[in-house]
Amino acid sequence: MALHAAREIYPDTRVVSVSDVRFERALYWSSSERRSVHMSIDPDTQHFVVSSRLRDRDSRWERHCSGRLELARVSVRDKEPLLALKARIPGGKAGKGQEQCYADLRRLGLEYGPCFQGILEAWKSGGELLARLGVPASIQEQLDLYAFHPVLMDLCLQSIAAAIQGRMVKSRVYMPVALGQVHVLDVMQPAMWAYAHVEERPDGTLDGNVTLYNDEGGVAAVIRGCRVKEVDAGSDAQVTPQRLYSVKWDAQPREGEQTPAQEPGTWILCGPDSELRKAVSHAFQRAGHAVNLVEGALLQGPTARGRMLAVLNDAGASLRGVLDLQGNSATKDELDGLSTLVTGSLHVMQALGDHEVQPHGTQRPRLWLVTRGAHAVAGKPVTRPAAGALWGLGRVFGHAEQAGLWGGMIDLDEGASLLMMQHTSWRNVWGGASMTKSPGAMAYGM
C-alpha cells in the first residue's frame, strides 16, 4: 500500500521507496470477515500509518504499520551481479527444492498457503541465501497492479527466514519488526531471484538485507535493514489470532429493584414519546424525582445544542442525570435515520459538556444511553443496527472526553416486556451495573 501511494505521489520518478517502517501489530484476516484497511499520509512529513478494523459497529481501528514515503536516489553499484552469486553460493551443488524449503519453515512454526509458496529452489552458505523464485500462476496477472506485489515482498522475507534457519531454535520464531528502507527500481516479473544476507546485532536481533533480481540479472528491488526479532512461539500473543477474541456476556443473578440512594432531584429524558419513556418517567416520579421530557425533534438542527443546554440550566443544582432514550426508537433491520440518531445524541453530549451549573452534593449529573436490539446476545441477532453507532459515540464521550459525566449504556432485548425494560433501565441507572445481563435485557455500565 505504501509503495503504491509513493508511486501515486511521485509519478515522475522510476524509483519508489519507503523507509523507517515499523510493524506494530499483526493483521489476522479470515475469509469470513469483512474488514476495512485504511492508510493515512501526513502531507508535510510523508509519514504514513496503516490501520484496519472489522466492519462492525463496535470495532475499533487497530494500528498495524507505520513508516515514511521517500523520494530517494538509489545506487546498486555495490550489488554483486547475479551471475557472480550463482557461481559463488551454490558452488556447483544442488539446492533445496520447494517442498524441502517449506517443510523446514513449517518445522519452525512458519506456515504459508499455496499462493505464498514461491521459493522454488534455495542455496545457503553461512548467513547468505540465494533463492530462485516463481510467482504462482494464479496471481501472475496481478503483478502490474502493484509497485511491489505482497507475495513477492513476502518471498523476500521468507528468504531472510531461510537464511537464518541454522540460528533458529524449534521453540522460537523469528518475526520481522521493522524495515529500514525498501526501494523498487523496476517492474516485477513472474521469475525472480532473491539474495539474502543476515547479520546478528549486539542486542541479539538480526538484520537482513535482500536484493531482488529479475531473471536477466537486473536489480528490481532492494530491502535494507529488515530487523528480525526472536519471539516465544508459545506466547498467546503470537499464536492466538486477534480474531479468536470476542465479547462474552455472562448471565448474572437478578437482584431486587434497588431503592434510590440519591436525594430527589431532576432527571431529563430525551427521545420521542414511547411506552418505555412513559414507564421510566413514572418510575422516577414515584421515587420523588422531577422529570423533564425533551422530544427528539428538539435535538435536531443548528440550535439544538443551545436548546438542550437551556434545559440543563433550567434544572440547576437539582439535576441528577440525563437518560437518552433515542436509541430505543432506532429503525428496525436497517440503517435509515442513522445520521439523525447520532446527531441527536451528540447534541445532548455537547450540551452536557457546556453545562457549568454546580450539581447538588459531590455527584455530577451523568449521561446514560439506552438502545434496543443493538447487540447480539444469547443467540439473538442484532435487530436495530443503527443503534450500534451510539455505543461507539458513547465510548468516545465516556472514556476519552467526559468520563466525569458518564453513567453508562443499556441495550434492551427486542422482545423484552415493558415491565422488564422499565426494571432494567431503572436498576442499571441507579445501581451502576457494569456489563451485566438480565433476562430480556443487558447493560453495559462502563
- pLDDT tens for 38-73 read 888 888 888 999 998 887 656 788 899 999 988 766
Per-residue pLDDT of 374-419, as tens digits, reads 887 767 788 888 888 888 888 888 766 777 788 888 888 776 655 5
6 has a pLDDT exceeding 80 = no
Q: Which of the 8 DSSP states describes residue 38?
A: E
172 has a pLDDT exceeding 70 = no
Q: Which residue has the higher pLDDT, 250 or 283?
A: 283
247 has a pLDDT exceeding 80 = no
The per-residue pLDDT for 195 is 96
**How far is it, in rounded angstroms, from Cα 292 to Cα 313?**
12
For residues 380 and 420, the answer to whether their CB atoms sit within 8 Å is: no
User: What percent of the chain clears pLDDT 90, i.e. is strictly above it?
Assistant: 28
Question: What number is the average pLDDT over the span 232-240?
Answer: 45
Pairing between strand 35-41 and 441-444? unpaired
The per-residue pLDDT for 310 is 92
**DSSP for 279-336?**
HHHHHHHHTT-EEEEE-GGGG-STTHHHHHHHHHHHHGGGEEEEEEEEETTPPTTS-T
The per-residue pLDDT for 441 is 46
Q: How many C-beta neighbours within 10 Å does residue 418 have?
A: 12
91 has a pLDDT exceeding 80 = no
253 has a pLDDT exceeding 70 = no
